[in-house]
Structure 1
Amino acid sequence: MRLGYCSITWGGVVGHPTGVTSVKDLFYLTHGDMRRAVTDIAAAGYEGVEMFDGNLVDFADRPQELTDLLDGAGVQLVSVYAGANFIYPDILPDELHRIRRSAELAASFGAERLVVGGGARRAAGTTADDYARLAESLDLVADIAESHGLAASYHPHLSTIVESPDELDRLLPNTRIGFCPDVAHLAAGGGDPATVIRTYGDRISHVHLKDLRRDPFAFLPLGQGELDLPGIVAAIRDSGYDSWLMVELDEYDGDPRAAAELSRDYLRDLLAV
């Protein structure tokens, strides 16, 4: 397996402010220096990087700058992360416009994968139709990704309508998009990550790894929390998945490169067993 790292730790995540009044422009952004992020990720020993769609948009008018940055660091842009509500018919065309733009940019920079999260929770409560709309929308995302030579996967996430194993079961059988297990989000949503991975092993097309402490709640570098990461990695291996493992850490109370190095050392030891 090859090891990659997500750039989110170098500034956290925000939404593009234009998106408040223009849904088609509501890209995710890491509010930090991508040059430092890519350089640190490479120096920490990772071969690949995942970025948010909005950070690629920042390079759209100066593409050679990002290409030179990746080439100079010796890392590959593996995947691009995007997201949307996906359940509101009136705004879905504009959301898909944004997904299409994300896929176009991802492909232009040599990425292999498009990862999406989403499925809004309504103030009035989630309906059964919301899962059907989400499933249909994710099929469209898969179509868009494939038209640009990318593999698409869905990432269950806290605050969406797909947090728990039961909610995942309501979605995945009804859409053809691939599955991106984020092991910490699965655990925080009440699931056992290894069990979920074994249940949907044939759907896995991307993986996010981070550790978790439940009380007080925090996402942590690998090996610093309470997840059974050896059991999780064994489940991933047993599923037949043998590709990129992307380490992700939303934020870190310290140097993000140091966090990346902690996870790298833990993963290298674990994968050597």
Structure 2
Amino acid sequence: MKLGYQTNTWGGVIGHPAGVTSVNDAYYLANGSTEEALKDISAAGYRGFEIFDGNLMQYKDKKEEFKALVKENSLDFIGVYTGGNFIFSDILEEELIKIEKVTSLASELGAKHLVIGGGAIRANGILESDYTDMGNALNRIVEISEKYHLIASYHPHMGTNVQAPEQLDRLMPLTTINLVPDTAHIEAGGGDPVEVIKKYIDRIKYVHLKDFQDGEFLPLGEGHQNFDEMIKVLNEAGYDGWITVELDSYENPKKGAEISREFLTRFE
């Protein structure tokens, strides 16, 4: 397996403050050190990393520094995580401008995957038309990703309009984008990650793993997720892509990465 880790554990999941007044600067951002994250990820035995769009854009004028950092830690740059609301027509163009900027930079720096989160929930509830609008927006993102030779995949997430399995099933027929299953978010939304992987295996080019128990996201092996069955399904389908561990926050980020890496040795 090709194993990677998300840098967002170093600093946790926050947002860029510029997004309050500028939609095309509404980046995800981990308020930690990317340099420290890559050093720890490499030391824990992972081969690659994924990064938030806001942390990647910090290197837009320091590209050689980023490349040197990746090389120094003997890692592959797997992909970048970005997203948007996708249901409000008056800001969609701004969201797509942001995503194209991120995709262009990620491609230039050697990434292979574009991970898309999001889908807003309206104050008065979700409209059925939101899924059609979102599907159309994601199709435009697929076109952007193809322009820059990245593989685009949608990431279901709590707090969006695609957190429950029936919501995912509404969206997926409306778009050609791939699916990156985040196993813990799928369970937190009421789904069975094994069944979701089985159902959408033909559209899975990238995978996020994290454990889950009692409403808490955990390092692999510390919850009750059935990773044995998930890996079995992937292997039987001939999946040979990246598997990235994503742990939104952990008191000791390096230790969290080490715990999950040790757990994954059982599949090697």
- For 2:229 and 2:116, the matched residues in 1 are separated by 26
Q: Which amino acid in the other structure matches residue 193 of structure 2? A: P
In structure 2, the residue matched to 1:184 is 184
Instruction: Indicate if the aligned counterparts of 1:201 and 1:240 stay in contact, CA closer than 8 A.
Output: no
Aligned-partner SS, 1:98: helix
In structure 1, the residue matched to 2:127 is 127
Work out which of the residue numbers 258, 262, 265 in structure 2 matches 1:265: 262
In structure 2, the residue matched to 1:99 is 99
Tell me which moved more, 153-162 or 226-235.
226-235
Q: What's the CA shift for 1:87?
A: 0.4
Q: Which amino acid in the other structure matches residue 259 of structure 2? A: L
Instruction: Indicate if the aligned counterparts of 1:44 and 1:257 stay in contact, CA closer than 8 A.
Output: yes
Instruction: Indicate if the aligned counterparts of 1:198 and 1:239 stay in contact, CA closer than 8 A.
Output: no
1:1-273 to structure 2, matched below 5 A, reads 1-214=1-214, 217-253=215-251, 255-269=252-266, 271-272=267-268
How many equivalent pairs are there? 268
- For 2:175 and 2:234, the matched residues in 1 are separated by 21
Q: What's the CA shift for 1:239?
A: 3.1
TM-score between both structures, scaled by the size of structure 2: 0.98
- For 2:186 and 2:14, the matched residues in 1 are separated by 22
- For 1:224 and 1:13, the matched residues in 2 are separated by 21
- For 2:117 and 2:227, the matched residues in 1 are separated by 23
- For 1:116 and 1:229, the matched residues in 2 are separated by 23
Once the two structures are superposed, residues 175-203 of structure 1 have per-residue CA deviations (whole angstroms, 9 ceiling, x without a partner) of 00010000000111111100111011000
Aligned-partner SS, 1:49: strand
Q: Which amino acid in the other structure matches residue 86 of structure 2? A: F
Unaligned 5+ runs, structure 2: none
CA RMSD after TM alignment: 0.8
Tell me which moved more, 18-27 or 239-248.
239-248
Instruction: Indicate if the aligned counterparts of 1:42 and 1:73 stay in contact, CA closer than 8 A.
Output: yes
Aligned-partner SS, 1:91: helix
Q: What's the CA shift for 1:222?
A: 0.2
Q: What's the CA shift for 1:226?
A: 1.2
- For 2:198 and 2:80, the matched residues in 1 are separated by 25
Once the two structures are superposed, residues 15-65 of structure 1 have per-residue CA deviations (whole angstroms, 9 ceiling, x without a partner) of 111110010111111110000000000010000000011111101111111
Q: Which amino acid in the other structure matches residue 260 of structure 2? A: S
- For 2:161 and 2:239, the matched residues in 1 are separated by 26
- For 1:237 and 1:156, the matched residues in 2 are separated by 22
- For 1:250 and 1:239, the matched residues in 2 are separated by 28
- For 1:235 and 1:259, the matched residues in 2 are separated by 25
TM-score between both structures, scaled by the size of structure 1: 0.97
Aligned-partner SS, 2:51: strand
